[in-house]
Amino acid sequence: MTHYLLAVHGPAERDEYGNYGSEAEMNDALTATGAFNDRLRADGYWVFAGGLEPVSTSTVVDGRGDRPLHSDGPYLETKEALGGFWVIDAPDLDVALRLAAEGSRACRGAVEVRPFEGLG
Amino acid sequence: MAEQAADVRPPPDGAAAVARVFREEYGRIIASLVRRFGDIDLAEESAGEALVAAMERWPASGVPPNPGGWLTTTASRRAIDRIRRESQREAKHQAAVMSHDDTPHASTGPVEDDRLRLLFTCCHPALAPEARVALTLRLLGGLTVAETAAAFLVPETTMAQRITRAKRKIASARVPYRVPEAADLPERLDGVLTVLFLVFNEGYLATGRGEPVRAELTGEAIRLTRILRGLLPEEAEVTGLLALELLVEARREARIRNGQLVPLEEQDRAGWDRALISEGHELVRRCLATNRPGRYQVLAAINAVHTDARTARDTDWAQVVALYDRLARLDPSPIVALNRAVAVAELDGPEVALALVDRLPLAGYHAWHVARADLLRRLGRSDEARAAYDAAIAATANTAEREYLTRKRGELG
């Protein structure tokens, strides 16, 4: 089994309904994503998942010097940012891609599938 | 396997003969080793060591009765040695082992061919399209990295990097080594057909300076297409591709004479393989009955018209042009337009065809220069024809095609 990151990238700037368009759309997406998460757990693929607060809430820390340096906001100026992710445990890429397609449909975003290094 | 047992091979005349046998058996060796050890690099390295062993032994002792079996067994032993050595060094050599599945899928029935599994791995949609063909030619076709690079007109280092990157992705992302399940099969099929057709074409007219026609590649493409058809008898495009390959393969012997390519209209039709032609025609009829036309089926139908004609003059060119019109609607590429124009020349004359050809943005494509040269020659425009032949010769490395074009250039008035 291998651990895969299923990363959902979205616009760095979010509107009132988290870029889903409307409150109804947003609720539909949240419900579908919740149901997908339940299936991941039931089928034994679940490791971890979560949606992230907007990038404006993030802080970057650089601890390489004598004293840690802090800066607010995203690490890189970008229009796209990580909006949420799953970590799943799957036997191979075909299974990971199938789950990613389901997750993408549920959360209404494209999903990047990336294996973790070494034994998952 | 029966096809192996039936092989009778002459004694080798040295390293070149060993290399030829090795290449013919390469796909089988690699596929078998990947299935057993789940590691493409290990399979390739061990196959390379088996080649060295064969080079040392065969010239003296002769080629064994089952060279593929000998090479696979030798390579397997080397792989086991390698795993032992490496597992002593680092315990985590298992990390990169690919995922594979030995249990037969209910949907795939009797298909248990290692090369077919490897084919689906090489053609996996997670790999870049250019990497899919490269891997298939390298791992199943046994082309060297240099030959694969030549087939794509890229520098060898670029191709080496492309192949290495794809293999690394297969290992670390765990691209599975198996025939996809029934639900995923139709989707995965398109990519496999594209790759098989490219492999067939590389055999039909090799891009490199070596053998001008590589029967082992056309044979391999046909073999894999046959297996695929056994797996998906209802898929009309698989049937179409097989029909196309058979109807082209039927003319293979007649296509080369004295090291020169012989164009369709000059071929000795008595040299065509009648068994392959009737099989191809039967498959085309089945496609027509199914009535779900696609690119490969139309190409097969065009070749059915050609192989139906007793002489080149008997060819039903109106039918050929009509089929190209149909193909152009399915695949509106300039290469289809070029082939259509060549057929138009037979119907409406070279002047009309030349106007069509000159309009196409294909100055980097050798077949465009070949078509222009031929049309200009027929129009008696010798100086322009000579320049076009020069451009065509410069654009191809295939020795038989160069010989043919050089002769035609020499015959200009």
3 state SS of B257:
strand
The pLDDT tens digits of the residues spanning B118-136 come to: 989 999 999 998 899 889 8
Q: Which residue in B94, B95, B175 is closest to A93 by CB distance? A: B175
- The SS3 assignment for B116 reads helix
- Percent with pLDDT over 70 in chain B: 90
Instruction: Say if B374 falls within a structural domain.
Output: yes
The answer to whether B176 contacts A93, with C-beta atoms less than 8 Å apart, is: yes
Chain B: nearest CA to A41, how far in angstroms? 22
CATH at residue B379: 1.25.40.10
Which residues of chain A fall below pLDDT 50? Answer: 120
**Structural domain of B366:** 325-413
Q: What average pLDDT does range B19-43 have in this prediction?
A: 89
Domain count, chain B: 2
Share of chain B above pLDDT 90, in %: 60
Judged by CB atoms closer than 8 Å, whether chains meet at A117 and B172 is answered as yes
In this structure, is residue A120 part of a structural domain? Answer: no
CB contact under 8 Å between A97 and B126, yes or no, is yes
**Chain A residue with Cα closest to B170:** A93
ipTM of the modeled complex: 0.85
- Residue B74: its pLDDT value, please? 95
Beta strands in B171-305 (DSSP E): 256-257, 260-261
User: Would you say residue B62 lies in a domain?
Assistant: yes
User: What would the pLDDT profile of B149-188 be if each residue is shown by its tens digit?
Assistant: 876 667 899 999 999 999 999 999 999 998 888 788 877 8
Is A17 among the domain residues? yes
pLDDT, residue A21, reads 83
The pLDDT mean for chain B works out to 87
pLDDT score at B250:
97
Query: What is the nearest CA distance from B152 to chain A, expressed in angstroms?
Result: 28
DSSP state string for B279-319: HHHHHHHHHHHHT---HHHHHHHHHHHHHH-SSGGG--HHH
Q: Is 90 exceeded by the pLDDT of residue B198?
A: no
Residues of A in contact with B92 (CB under 8 A): 118-119
Give contacts of A113 with chain B, Cβ < 8 Å: 173
Q: Is there a contact between A91 and B99 if contact means CB atoms under 8 Å apart?
A: yes
The whole-number pLDDT of residue B3 equals 39
A98: domain CATH number is 3.30.70.1060
pLDDT tops 90 at residue B389: yes
Domain containing A26: what range? 2-115
Q: Which of B51, B86, B121 represents a domain boundary (last residue)?
A: B86
Q: Measured between CB atoms, does A80 come within 8 Å of chain B?
A: no
CATH assignment at residue B73: 1.10.1740
The residue count of chain A comes to 120
Radius of gyration of chain A (CA): 16
pLDDT value, residue B282: 98
Q: Does residue B51 contact residue B27 with C-beta atoms inside 8 Å? A: no
Cβ-based contacts of B184 with chain A (< 8 Å)? 94
> What is residue B304's predicted lDDT score, i.e. its pLDDT?
97
Chain A contact present for B180, CB below 8 A: yes
According to the model, what pLDDT value does residue A74 have? 66
pLDDT value, residue B77? 95
Taking the CA of residue B186 and the nearest CA in chain A, the distance in Å comes to 15
- Residue B1 banded pLDDT, cuts 50, 70, 90: very low
- Number of domains comprising chain A: 1
pLDDT of residue B99: 54
Cβ of residue B16 closer than 8 Å to a chain A Cβ: no
Q: Is A97 at the interface with chain B, CB within 8 A?
A: yes
What pLDDT is recorded for position B152?
64
Asked if the C-beta of B168 comes within 8 angstroms of chain A's C-beta atoms, the answer is: no
Residue B169: strand, helix, or coil:
helix
Nearest residue, CB atoms, B176 vs list A92, A118, A119 = A92
Residue A106: inside a domain, yes or no?
yes
